Amino acid sequence: MRFFSIVTALLVSTTLYLLVFEREAVRAFAAGETATETPVETAQEEVGDRVSVVALASTAVQIEQGVLVRGRTEAARQVDVRAETTGTVISEPLRKGAFVEAGALLCSIDPGTREVSLNETMARLAEAKSRLPEAEARLAEALAAVPAAEARIAEARARVPEAKARLAEALANVPAAEARLLEARASIPTAEARLAEALASIPTARARLAEAVASIPTAEARLAEAEASVPTAKARLAEAEASIPTAGARLAEAEASIPTARARLAEAEASIPTAKARLAEARAAVPASEAALVEAKSRLPEAEARVAEAEARLVEAELNLNAATELARTGYASETRVAAAEAAAETARAGVHGARSQFEGARAGVQSAMSRLKGAHASVQAAIGQVEGAKASVQAAKGQVESSLAAVQAAKGQVESAKAAIASARGQVESAKASVQSAKGQVESAKAAVVSAEGQVEGAKAAVASAEGQVEGAKAGVETAKGQIETSKASVEAARSGIESADAGVITAVSALEGAKAGIQSANSQIEGARAGIQSAEATVAAADKEIERLEIHAPFAGLLESDTAELGALLQPGGLCATVIQLDPIKLVGFVPETEVDKVRHGAIAGARLATGRQVVGKVTFLSRSADPATRTFRVEVAVPNTDLSIRDGQTAEIVIEADGLPGHLIPQSALTLDDDGALGVRIVDDQQRAGFLPVAVLRDTLDGIYVSGLGETANIIVVGQEYVTDGVPVAPTFREAAQ
């Protein structure tokens, strides 16, 4: 074996020698000519020590680039259509391989009691909506209660001046009672004067009797009588002077009655705001009654909604009862379940009766609210009557004030009369003194008056008894006046208590106003709660509608069934598979590009592929991954290819070539490649000074005619034979050949 290797090496070496160094002789020999020694010798002389090489004058051409990857086909889309609810399939199954359009029905699920649940949720929505007018009516009622509370505050505040007027009246009564006490005390001296007068008349009568009986000298008797008449005159003077305090007391009483009358006038005028406040309260009660009527009417829809809800529950209970009865008849349900269903049906019937009773109660509430509204109107009319009465009281109080002023004038007249009586009494005293002189002449006539004097004695004794009674009566009047003073003081205390009560009423009314405002806040909260209930009910209705929509499962896009749809009677649960749908038009070609060539691929580039069956297809790049596979350091690329006839299947092997930007390159034989001292791949070239050089190259493409390389510039003289025998800077004698050789 070694012999043949050595022989082969010798033959190759000889052939290379002849082709390189004796190429012209070989050509001449091949052409049938005889080589002469002279040209060879001349050439050797010209070449000298240069190395003969064969070179190729190459010009760069534009090379179309392509990235070659291996991959497979994939469906454009593949979806496992799954159920979103629980139920039994009631639709006929579609078999795998069948083509379905987008939106086509794949599976239909038995609705069961979902429609009843939807009706129930709709009834709850209606109930929640009916609560909103009720809450708004309560808000209106609370708002209407605010004017009523404010009217009560005004009424309570109006009562304060009334109580103060009563206090003023009570305080005014105290001076009147004190004046009466003074009058009673002043009447005591008058009564005592009358007693003194009566007592004084007794000696007169006795004197007359003694004069008549004893026949005292006429002069002495008349003198005694005249002297006895002097105390009488003085007593009358004292009586007249004592009447002055009485008249003054009456004047003070009359003047004291003026504040009372004015206080009554103020009380009557203060009662007008009270009556007006009651009128305002009565009028404010009208909106509250109207709001109550609106609230009662708003409860009617709620009651109707509850009746509808109860009837829906009854229908559901009857359905469950029928189902339980049927299952019990076939042996799939126990008697306990049937009894429970019957009890639920009875409960639902009772709920229907209860809801209807509530509906009738709501109607009765409307009638009651209408009655309250009529009563509120009647209260308004009554309050108007009270206002008119208060105005009449004002007129009467004004009349009392005028009467008190007239009484003051009359009392002043009595005072003047008492002063005149004093002057008259003083005249009587003077007259009595004068009568002393006259009495001396009347002694004789006194004797005739013995019988009359005895009668006068008896009369004087009776006058004494009467005067003593008047004294006791005057003392009793004093005690009575003291009692009236105590009563007036008690009235003052009562009036002060009335003021405190009025102030407490104001505080209570303010508290009621705060309560009304709190009612407004509560009503607003109820409105918000009602609106939240409506939103919750709407969400429940939407959920029920969505649940019914989920009963039908449709194809998300047009494609082929990769599996049979769910079988008739099968139980689907959330996440249960209904069918698998794939889309093959367009189909994707999926490959993985090395990181060294990923920059050559661009989105939208034309790409071709050869399937394992030999079929060739063309498409465009639709996706290039931005993240490398951590295991292979390659990047996923996808090419969309039309597949209208659906003949290309998912998972077929494909060889993919992706178009890249062209580069200038030189076509050279593979044997022209060599390595430099550093192991870099390149070629030997002939420079302008006919010396050998080395240039590194990059392989662009391998073809049957050679390989395309880059890195040589626009033109280059590439050594294709003898490159292993020269190094950089070695002079060469190139022999050029055509690219086809």
Please state the pTM of the whole predicted model.
0.42
**What does DSSP say about strands 634-641 and 653-668: parallel, antiparallel, or unpaired?**
unpaired
User: If you average pLDDT over residues 540-551, what whole number do you get?
Assistant: 89
Q: Is the pLDDT of residue 598 over 80?
A: yes
Contact 728, 692 (CB under 8 A): yes
Tell me: pLDDT of 741 over 70: no
Question: Tens digit of pLDDT for each residue in 278-334?
Answer: 777 777 877 877 887 788 788 788 888 888 888 888 888 888 888 888 877 777 667
Instruction: Name the burial class of residue 433, with classes exposed (0-12), middle (13-18) and buried (19+) by CB atoms within 10 angstroms of its CB.
Output: middle
Residues 6+ apart with CB under 8 A from 540: 121, 124, 125
What is the per-residue pLDDT across 384-417, written as a single tens digit (0 to 9) for each?
A: 877 777 776 777 677 677 767 766 776 677 677 7
- Top pLDDT among 397 and 373 is at 373
Higher pLDDT, 585 or 391: 585
Q: What residues form DSSP beta bridges with 638?
A: 590, 623
Q: Which residue has the higher pLDDT, 36 or 205?
A: 205
Helix (H, G, I), strand (E, B) or coil at 482: helix
pLDDT tens per residue, range 605-617: 999 999 999 999 9
Taking residues 249-259, report their average pLDDT: 76
**pLDDT at residue 581 is higher than 90:** yes
pLDDT of residue 512: 81
* C-alpha span between 315 and 133 (Å, rounded): 28
Q: Tell me the H-state helices in 440-449.
A: 443-448
Percent share of the chain, pLDDT over 70: 86
Q: Residue 554 pLDDT more than 90?
A: yes
Mean pLDDT (whole number) for 63-91? 89
Mean pLDDT of 75-95: 91
CA angle 255, 259, 260 (to 5 degrees): 105
Whether 22 has a pLDDT exceeding 70, the answer reads: yes
Query: CA 281 to CA 144: how far, in whole Å?
Result: 10
Dihedral, CA of residue 433, residue 438, residue 441 and residue 444, to nearest 10: -70
Average pLDDT of the segment spanning 690-708: 89
Helical pair 23-31 and 37-47, crossing angle rounded to 10 deg: 160
Long-range CB pairs of 273-277, under 8 A, 24+ apart, other chains included = 273/154, 273/155, 273/158, 273/161, 274/155, 274/158, 274/159, 274/162, 274/390, 275/383, 275/386, 275/387, 275/389, 275/390, 276/387, 277/151, 277/152, 277/154, 277/155, 277/158
Q: 668, 63 in Cβ contact below 8 A? A: no
> 551: helix, coil or strand?
coil
SS3 of 685, please? Answer: strand
Report yes or no: 527 and 132 within 8 Å, Cβ to Cβ.
Answer: yes
pLDDT over 90 percentage in the chain? 20
- Name the band, by pLDDT with cuts 50, 70 and 90, for residue 525: confident
- pLDDT band with cut points at 50, 70 and 90 for residue 577: very high
Q: Give yes or no for a contact between 390 and 271, defined as CB atoms under 8 angstroms apart.
A: yes
Q: Which residues of 696-727 are buried (b: 16+ CB within 10 A; e: fewer)?
A: ebeebeeeeebbbbebbeeebbbbbbbbebbe
Q: For 484, how many CA atoms within 13 A lie in the half-sphere containing its CB?
A: 19
Rounded CA separation 461/205 (Å): 10
Residue 556: cis peptide before it, omega within 30 degrees of 0:
no
How far, in Å, CA of 641 to CA of 4, rounded? Answer: 57
Q: How far apart are CA 568 and CA 551, in angstroms?
A: 14
pLDDT, position 217: 62
- Range 108-114 contact pairs with CB under 8 angstroms and sequence separation of 24 or more: 108/551, 108/552, 108/553, 109/83, 109/85, 109/550, 109/551, 109/552, 109/553, 109/572, 110/551, 111/87, 111/548, 111/551, 112/87, 113/316, 113/319, 113/320, 114/544, 114/547, 114/548, 114/551
- Distance (Å, rounded) from C-alpha 678 to C-alpha 693? 15
Can you tell me the distance from the alpha carbon of 478 to that of 179, in angstroms, rounded to the nearest whole number? 11
CA quadruple 211, 216, 221, 222: dihedral positive or negative?
positive
Transcribe 149-181 into DSSP letters: HHHHHHHHHHHHHHHHHHHHHHHHHHHHHHHHH
CB–CB of 285/376 below 8 Å? yes
CA distances from 662 to 66, 67, 600, 701 (A): 9, 12, 10, 12
As a whole number of Å, the CA-based R_g of the chain is 70
Query: What DSSP character marks residue 89?
Result: B
Phi, psi for 486 (deg, rounded to 5): -60, -40
Sign of CA dihedral 580, 583, 587, 591: negative
3-state secondary structure of 108: strand
Placement of tokens 């004038």 in the chain? 409
Report phi then psi at 365, rounded to 5: -60, -35
What is the C-alpha separation between 495 and 719, in angstroms, rounded? 139
Task: Indicate the Cα dihedral angle 190, 196, 201, 202, nearest 10°.
Answer: 140
User: In the prediction, which pLDDT does 34 show?
Assistant: 44
Residue 44 predicted with pLDDT over 50: no
Handedness of CA 109, 110, 116, 117 (dihedral sign): negative
Side chain identity, residue 478: V
Find the helix packing angle between 2-20 and 23-31, rounded to 10°: 90
The DSSP code for 32 is: T
Report the DSSP beta bridge partners of residue 591.
Answer: 71, 637
CA distance 707 to 687: 22
Average pLDDT of the chain is 80
Q: For residues 619 and 607, is the Cβ–Cβ distance under 8 A?
A: yes
